[in-house]
Amino acid sequence: MKLSLITTTFNSANTLLDTIQSVRSQGINELEYIIVDGGSTDGTLELIQNNRDVISKFISEPDNGIYDAINKGIAMATGEVVGLIHSDDFFASNQVLGKVIEAFSDQDVDALYGDLQYVDRTDSTKVVRNWKSKPYSDGLFEQGWMPAHPTFYLRRQYFKQFGVYDTDFYTSADYELMLRMLRKHKLRSKYLPITMVKMRVGGQSNVSLKNRWIANQEDVRAWEKNGLQIKPLTRWLKPLSKISQFFQ
């Protein structure tokens, strides 16, 4: 089974090599590794060219943000399953993609996700926050739950059937897509109870209180856009549910 893996970059020279090396360490033969660059000027392009042996496809051109760039990658993908590894992130071990492919050998699995660790931006050995997930069941989104997006893998056919990332959302297109796939269309998911990805702190939706407020507003709009009825407390339970991740 071919797996397509997408990395989006823009002036990512300080962290991208760790990302690429973690992809290389997976040792997967049927891996289509795609990098979509937004027109970097800091040495990112040279780094990519120096690692073309592991990179299957690559483009560099202006885009309209990270979700637009991800959609470009999805359009380039030919694998049966599509996943992401962001340019600030790296795989927690060299066995992650092997376990992903093994899980998708079960044709009843439409989507997959696992656990995530946030690490210090300058010292990646220092764990700041643990995101432990759980198997999906009806009602979890209403309780403020969501999968860790950097660990989310989906059969490519469902991007064709139900759509890609909605670029009308500034910070919550990932939440909207997973809500759409799992809650609205009820795709069958599998939880992989391992730390799949280590993510450097400083993501777009968490970089400031202002962005966190924007994300909160967009979360509500994600329910409305999918014709789903959001419960009054859901918008507040989502950020509150993450507090425990700092103490695990």
Instruction: Confirm if 80 and 1 have CB atoms less than 8 A apart.
Output: yes
pTM: 0.92
CA nearest neighbour of 84 among 140, 147, 11, 137: 147
Q: In angstroms, rounded to a whole number, what is the distance separating the alpha carbons of residues 241 and 243?
A: 6
- In order, the DSSP letters of 143-171 are GT----GGG-EEEHHHHHHH-S--TT-SS
Q: Which CATH superfamily is domain 3-246 in?
A: Spore Coat Polysaccharide Biosynthesis Protein SpsA; Chain A (3.90.550.10)
Q: Which residues pair with 98 in a beta bridge?
A: none
Instruction: Confirm if 34 and 77 have CB atoms less than 8 A apart.
Output: yes
Per-residue pLDDT at 206: 47
Query: What 3-state DSSP class applies to 189?
Result: strand
pLDDT in tens, 20-68: 999 999 999 999 999 999 999 999 999 999 999 999 999 999 999 999 9
DSSP letter (8 states) at residue 105: T
Ramachandran bin of 156, using left for φ above 0, alpha for ψ from -120 to 50, beta for the remaining angles: alpha
Chain-centroid distance, C-alpha 96: 14
Answer whether residue 210 shows pLDDT above 80: no
Per-residue pLDDT at 15: 96
Kindly indicate the confidence band of residue 233, based on its pLDDT and cuts at 50, 70 and 90.
Answer: confident
CA nearest neighbour of 77 among 169, 172, 155: 155
